[in-house]
Amino acid sequence: MTPISHLYLHVPFCPTICPYCDFHVVRRQAGWVEAYLKRLLEEAGQLAGLWPLELETIYLGGGTPSFLRDRELAALVEGLRAAVGWAGEVTLEVNPGTVSRARAELWRELGFTRASLGIQSLDDQVLRFLGRTHSSRAAREAASYLRQAGLRLSADLITAVPSQRLEREVASYLELDLEHLSAYSLTVEEGTEFARRGVEVAEEDEREAFYRTEELLAEGGLLRYEISNYARPGAESRHNLGYWTNAFYAALGPSAAGHYPSERPGELAQRRTAATLEGWLRGEGGEVLPVSPAQYASDAAFMGLRLERGIDLRALGGRTGLDLLGSWPQLLRRPLEGGLLELQGGQLRATRDGWWVLNQLVTPLVEWSAG
Binding footprint of other proteins on the chain (CB under 8 A): 8, 182, 184-185, 187, 203, 206-207, 210, 227-228, 240, 243-244, 249, 251, 255-259, 271, 273, 287, 289, 299, 302-303, 306, 333-335, 337-338, 340, 355-363, 366-367, 370
Binding range to ligand SF4, per CB under 6 A, among 14-22, 49-57, 177-185, 275-283: 14-22
Does residue number 61 form part of the binding site for ligand SF4 (CB under 6 A)? no
310 binds, among ligand SF4, other proteins, none (CB under 5 to 8 A by kind): none
CB of 250 to other proteins, least distance (A): 10
Torsion of CA 110, 139, 102, 14, to 10 degrees: -60
113 binds, among ligand SF4, other proteins, none (CB under 5 to 8 A by kind): none
Query: Of the two residues 218 and 370, which places its CB atom closer to other proteins in the complex?
Result: 370
Stretch 88-107: interaction string toward ligand SF4, x if CB under 6 A: -------x------------
Does residue number 155 form part of the binding site for ligand SF4 (CB under 6 A)? no
146/211 Cα distance (integer angstroms): 30
64 binds, among ligand SF4, other proteins, none (CB under 5 to 8 A by kind): ligand SF4
CB of 289 to ligand SF4, least distance (A): 24
1/263 Cα distance (integer angstroms): 8
CB of 239 to ligand SF4, least distance (A): 17
Look at phi and psi of residue 132 and say left if phi exceeds 0, alpha if psi is from -120 to 50, else beta: beta
- CA-only gyration radius of the chain, Å: 21
Strand ranges inside 316-366, DSSP E? 341-344, 347-350
